[in-house]
A and B are shown apart, each in its own frame.
Chain A
Amino acid sequence: MKKLLFTLLITVLSLILSSSPWAQSQGKIGSLDLYRWNTANGMQVLFSPTSELPIVDVRLVFDAGGARDVSVQPAKPGLAKLTNGLIFEGSQGITANEIAKTFEGLGVQYGNSSHRDMAVLDLRSLSDKPIIDKALDTLNQVLAKPLFDEKVLDRERNKLLVALNLAEQNPSSKASLAFFTAMYSNEQQQHPYASPSNGTKESLAKISRQDLIDYYRQYYVAPNAILAIVGDLSLERVKSIAERLSKTLGEGQHAPPLPTVQSAAKGKNISIEHPSTQTTIVLGQPALKRGDDDYYALYLGNHVLGGSGFSSRLVKEVRVKRGLTYSVGSHFIPMRAEGPFQISLTTKNQSADEAVTIVNQVLNDFIKSGPSDEEIEESKLNISGSFPLRTASNKSIVEHLAVIGFYNLPENYLDIFKEKIQAVTREQIIDAFQRRVIPEKMSTIIVGASSESTK
């Protein structure tokens, strides 16, 4: 009994230790080492050294994507995007122009992007010491106290309004927006994923400078950040780089968990008129989170269904056999909360009904009977054979590191994925699809010119 208690104590102690600074864990990604630790004030760092090219890739990710737009009262869709978009537009002691001139004069590439889960800042620099040092000095200065200048906010808001217009003339943007609303908004729940990340004309007009300042203070803090670095630097240097960045970002809290998705018992069918020659069709439902145990079976099954190009059933049935589309595919997109399972395609307006019927037939048949043993074997070969491609560039590795950090996956996540996929059986796929993909729950979005369809 005592021994057991002692073991428990050790376990608890080691858990505490692992979240303290410098408690470093180590793994492998592709052929590279992977080091992972937390800085003193709680920023997670993932680093893979490689010296074959004189390059450093830095990706800084915050749990501050569009899903957080609803954390303010009232909700302000577009807030996450605007905040992210203004970060390189001037900070205390450095103007936007100086930031751009400094980075570009060094040959540094930098950028930002905002998604539903993540807000991302990227930087790619030569690793020569004077260049990378200056680039990181500048990044620290940028992050220390962004100005969120009123005039810049107005200008960027106007640019987003133009982007909304451009999205309005693009059928697939329209379909995607309607798809997320249909999936994540119902009588029981307005899930944060229902919020349009690019904002609306109305919501953008209401966003103030203070909103951005508050949002930045709340979410762009060390405990809510993941720093991923790949490149020609030593572990010691990255440790000091990370400590400094983490101090710059400062103390704060990790963003709270997102609510579990309560999907409606019945999916929606939505038709949107658009003056196009093709109809864009998107079908799907909320499906799974990152870290879900069913992921491997669903991934492998989907590879057969619509995730593997010409080998997949959807491409064979809709494109190859019938010539109805240029591109059709299906995906599971695991996210913080339940991300979508989605099938999408475009076809000429006259074939829209036929295409929807075939897609549903293929899907229902797959849910009922699953893939054949041969299909499973072929997919397993494809996935294992293509594995070296996933880690063939510094850029792809830094992206993997950021995902591993953001979703708290183990360091050897890619190896685990590879092994688990190989172990999946036909029965597991059928079981997982039958439990997780429910035809009645599927929503169908159709964007096109209905006058031309054969209804």
Chain B
Amino acid sequence: MFQSNFFYTTARNSLSVLFLVLFIQQSAQAQATKNSDAVSEKTLANGLKILVKEDNRAPVVVSQIWYKVGSSYESSGTTGVSHALEHMMFKGTSKYPGDSFNKIVSRNGAEDNAFTSRDYTAYYQKMEKSRLETSFDLEADRMRNLLLPKEDFLKEIMVVQEERRWRTEDKPQSLLYEQLYVTAFDNSGYHHPIIGWMEDLKKMTIDDLKQWYQTYYSPNNAILVVVGDVKTDEVFALAEKYFAAIKPFPNLTVKLRPERKQRSSKRINLLVPAKSPYINIGFKVPVINTAKESWEPYALELMAGILDGGDSTRFNQELVKGQQLAASAGTGYWSNSRLENLFLIDGTPAEGKNIQELEKALLAEIKKLQQQPVSMDELERVKNQIVASAVFEKDSIFYQAMKIGQAEASGVGWQTEAQYVERIRQITPEQIQMVAQKYFVPNNMTVAVLDPQKQS
């Protein structure tokens, strides 16, 4: 499975990166379980949308506030501003100055962090259930009253630069992934990396952040998601108490920057010190939010599962175990992103095999899907995995909240998200063949190859 560094967090202690995995989705089957799947929705007069899901298995709750802004909203010259602002959100308000935020959160035993993606910036606290009010108090306060002190910023932007070095500069595979997006997208906001270019980070000012904060951090551009051992009405009342007084900003008109039509296949070779070659191939494909044919993203999800949903799937059977060309091979597709995205294929050659052979073999697997419909047997196996995963994911209140927040922040909506498993069930082998034929063509393709240079 393709593990992309999709989020950037302020990382408290662990260097945890949240990986977006395939199939983090709702289950129709799960509705038969004792936990209610019901999401309750309420919108305050100032436009803040609140979504609550009760799960009383343990006396805990997760509260997440999502802002509809991420790196794909940024312009050239100030790339990385969404993520830099995320870091500065922990630096105090007049009510809770300095590191009071961190202190209060810590004293309450909350696990808290934040993450920035291409489509959104989100903040969360996971805690014992009686502490929810503290979380609302803090989040409402920093939605409007952030101080953004310059001297803190000058230190924190250095931290962000260290983060970029750690995440990307010194990791050949991350550099390749970054370069794939740069090459594949010309105009789309997905062109540049979430963390931003080092050159932009070095020139970033506190005023860039202030402007960003004053444009996007408003109740009418935010979603509050709460999942856990709570009573929905009480959450609504508590949200009213803390967030209702925040005045909305004028409604935003976000200029969409659609990607221009690709007219040829693209290819780059990345020459960096490394020990192992690596390949990324991206095909431009629709996502739920952009699809003209609404079934297509679900067919693409299944296509990803057919190629790389586990040990029994094709990449592993054919390329890792059969021909033994790959040490590993995977796919990545995120149907719930905001803009047209890439269907990703990645592979590391087996010892002694070269990257050209592997590239050919990866593309041959695509060709097979174009030429022949998958068997019902194979398709059922992948569907069963998706259905079961949807039940397994209910073991985590955090992921339940994540799914709701992602769907809302990217424009898909939680209701659509809730139909995911049902939509997956309806896909036929012919539909998988159709998306394979339609989108996996040279004019949609970008190939990025890591060509290791001797470490001097």
Contacts and interface: CB of A to CB of B under 8 A. Distances in A.
Nearest to B311: A100
Contact of B166 (A126, A346, A388): A346
A385 interface: yes
Contact of A52 (B35, B109, B349): B35
A346 B275 CA distance: 21
A393 B400 CA distance: 12
B255 interface: no
Interface stretch (A192-200, A212-220, A376-384): A376-384
A50 B327 CA distance: 39
Interface string B323-365: 0100110000000000000000000111110000000000000
Interface stretch (A36-44, A138-146, A160-168, A177-185): A160-168
Given A158-B327, A166-B276, A393-B396, A346 B165 contact: yes
Nearest to A51: B34
Nearest to A125: B388
5 contacts: A96-B321, A107-B385, A126-B391, A389-B126, A393-B397
Interface stretch (B11-19, B41-49, B402-410): B11-19
Given A104-B311, A158-B327, A348-B165, A382 B275 contact: no
A346 B162 contact: yes
A194 B33 CA distance: 48
Contacts of A125: 388
Contacts, number: 219
Interface string A360-371: 000000000000
Contacts of A77: none
Nearest to A379: B106
A179 B17 CA distance: 23
List the 7 shortest-distance A-B pairs measured between CB atoms, nearest first: A385-B109, A107-B388, A309-B12, A323-B158, A386-B109, A100-B311, A100-B312
A381 B90 CA distance: 20
Contact of B317 (A53, A97, A277, A326): A97
B60 interface: yes
B94 interface: no
Given A52-B35, A166-B275, A385 B163 contact: no
Nearest to B11: A327
Interface in B1-44: 11-15, 33-35
B348 A310 contact: no
B107 A276 contact: no
A311 B108 CA distance: 12
Interface in B113-134: 126-129, 131
B208 interface: no
Contacts of A387: 109, 128
Main secondary structure of the interface of B (DSSP, over half): mixed
A171 B273 CA distance: 12
Of the candidates B128, B131, B349, B387, the one having the most CB atoms from chain A within 10 angstroms of its own CB is B128
Nearest to A276: B170
Interface in B140-162: 154-162
Interface string A195-230: 000000000000000000000000000000000000
A310 B327 contact: no
B430 interface: no
Given A382-B107, A386-B110, A326 B388 contact: no
Q: Range of interface residues on chain B?
A: 35 or more
A104 B170 contact: no
Nearest to B91: A320
B395 A53 contact: yes
Contact of B395 (A51, A325, A378, A393): A393
Given A97-B317, A162-B276, A311 B456 contact: no
A103 B131 CA distance: 41
A385 B127 CA distance: 8
A52 B34 contact: yes
B60 A392 contact: yes
A384 B109 contact: yes
Contacts of B388: 106-109, 125-126
A92 interface: no
Interface in A117-171: 124-126, 155, 158-159, 161-163, 165-166, 168-171
B12 A326 contact: no
A310 B90 contact: yes
A389 B362 CA distance: 42
Contacts of A357: none
B350 A311 contact: no
A434 to B, nearest CB: 24
A102 B160 CA distance: 46
A189 B143 CA distance: 57
Interface string A303-346: 00001111110010001111111110100000000000000001
Contacts of B380: 105
Given A158-B350, A393-B395, A385 B389 contact: no
B247 to A, nearest CB: 30
